[in-house]
Structure 1
């Protein structure tokens, strides 16, 4: 059904600058970035964005835009980029730079020594920069059983827990789908990641729950979050299908998901990790932030 409000009427009626979008009533056209700068965020969600989704926008430009939109983080960046974020009053909610690759991870013992050395060197850098989340990956199965891979991950990651606990840096293993985007990736279901976290038994190991990926693999997003939130350190967004805007073009209703996250007592960040399909990617980013600002 077509929205009965014109753009002008919708803008005029936006109570507090965000009520229409925040309630899930999306405008019929994506707002231009300039029209969104006056939106006031509620503060119950800490907003972040993943830089890789905006490869054509220089970090300096994205940092200025993010700050103006009310975001406080740009993530999935390494040490070379952290000073730029700091200059603009931003943090990096999920750091990276210690991993080998998504496919070569902790489930294969032949990578353990290399990964442990890399993470041992990176963890203090993360802490010294005032950051507290560092991404890690399981790796691909390559014929290995999930049980064996879980045991191998636990062995390798336990070698890092003393350093992670000393510096209060959480190693966050990302849940990725193996159906569409990352064929054969092992940490592709929440239950598997939770069991791994129980084996490691440290507050400095948790899961990066990517809503896009887990909708594809298992659905039941809100119930899963409520049941397993103590094992989750961070969230990522993305529209299903296609990993584009999280608006009315896709199957998930993000305001309800965000309310469920807030209701768990979560105080961390939500990172926008969709690939903008519109001609104005910054307008899409701002729209998605407002949608998630419950």
Structure 2
């Protein structure tokens, strides 16, 4: 399953074992003990575990002591509140990934849509709201950046008033989202500079940016002020964040913490293993530096 279709260290045997060992620990070992340091504010995208009913998934997060979930909308927030789970990244506005702020013909509709959802996000007690650039469709990147900035600036006063932060997601255009415009950190950072508001940040998806540009830790160190949220997944394949893939997530998480980041890091991998929740537990432990 891909998200576009869905849309429409810790204790391992003893408390002294650090998360880098969790990366190599057998899954059945992780069943015995699960204790998080929570230096990282953990979250997870439910769409990756979509066959698990949301309410069952929230019960599991309560059992794990994970207090947030990503990519939920107003229709789901009441059940999140029932289980005291925070919505760390909201959706509920826009036309999806391929049609976004780079198209001026959509601005009137997008502005009206976001003007409706921003107060709802704030009223529910949440902060982050996702948005997308849209596909290029032959448009020059500089023109698209200018169009995005012009449209988004029109809703910044409302976002600032309500303390809501719009977060444009960085996605790869090589494998998963062909032709998507906001596909490099450099382009997204220039957009942040053009908008010049603390109510606009980038959702830095580590998986996507590893595919597009690599150099993840240096990019985070040099540009963290523009990144308001992080997503994880293994490269290649978008699967578990363990030793089966090329990224070393404990080092990435330490780099994020060193910037003073206090936002959320959400697991967004597609588990390959039969026990999906144990894969999720392992992912949390690996990132729990």
User: Which residue matches 2:48?
Assistant: 53
Please give the per-residue CA displacement for 1:12-70, whole angstroms capped at 9, x wherever unaligned. 97321x725x124534532377x25x422112101000011011000010001112112
Match in the other structure for 1:145:
140
Matched, 1:175 2:174: no
Aligned residue for 2:89, secondary structure, equals coil
Whole-Å Cα distance in 2 between the matches of residues 208 and 70 of structure 1? 24
Would you say how many aligned residue pairs link Structure 1 and Structure 2?
280
Q: Residues 70 and 90 of structure 2 are in contact (CA less than 8 Å); yes or no, is this contact kept in structure 1?
A: yes
Q: Which has the larger radius of gyration?
A: 1
Q: Which moved more, 1:253-262 or 1:65-74?
A: 65-74
Q: CA deviation at 1:71?
A: 1.0
Is the alpha carbon distance of 1:12 and 1:182 closer, same or farther for their aligned partners in structure 2, counting shifts above 3 Å? closer
CA distance in 1, matches of 2:141, 2:14: 50
Aligned residue number for residue 6 of structure 1: none
Alignment equivalent of 1:67, drawn from 59, 62, 69: 62
State TM-score, norm by structure 2: 0.94
Q: Which runs of 5+ in 1 are unaligned?
A: 1-10
The correspondence of residues 147-162 of structure 1 with structure 2, limited to 5 A, is: 147-162=142-157
Equivalent residue, structure 2, for 1:19: 17
- For structure 2, list consecutive stretches of 5 or more residues without a partner in the other structure: 1-9
Q: Report if the CA contact (8 A) 1:172-1:206 is conserved.
A: yes
**Aligned partners of 2:96 and 2:11: how far apart in 1?**
48
Following TM superposition, by how much is the alpha carbon of 1:189 offset from its aligned partner in structure 2, in angstroms? 0.2
1:29 aligns with 2:23: no
1:263 and 2:262 matched: no
2:243 and 2:84 map into 1 onto residues whose CA distance is 32
Q: Which whole-Å CA distance do the structure 2 matches of 1:63 and 1:268 have between them?
A: 20
2:202 alignment partner, one of 202, 207, 230: 207
Q: Which residue of 1 aligns with 2:119?
A: 124
Equivalent runs, 1:101-112 vs 2, <5 Å: 101-112=96-107
TM-superposed CA distance for 1:280, in Å, is: 0.6
User: What SS does the corresponding residue of 2:139 show, helix, strand or coil?
Assistant: coil
Q: Distance in 1 between matches of 2:173 and 2:12?
A: 43
1:83 corresponds to which of 58, 78, 92: 78
- Counterpart of 2:188 (choices 193, 207, 210) is 193
**Does the 8 Å contact 2:12/2:34 carry over to 1?**
no
RMSD across aligned positions (CA)? 1.6
Q: Distance in 2 between matches of 1:43 and 1:28?
A: 19
Aligned match of 2:7: none
Alpha-carbon distance change, 12 to 283 in structure 1, aligned in 2, over 3 angstroms? closer
Contact kept, 8 Å, 1:176 with 1:210, in 2: the verdict is yes
Q: Once the 2 structures are TM-superposed, how far is the Cα of residue 174 of structure 1 from its aligned partner? A: 0.1
1:243-262 alignment, distance < 5 Å: 243-262=238-257
Residue 161 of structure 1 and its aligned partner are, at CA, apart by 0.3
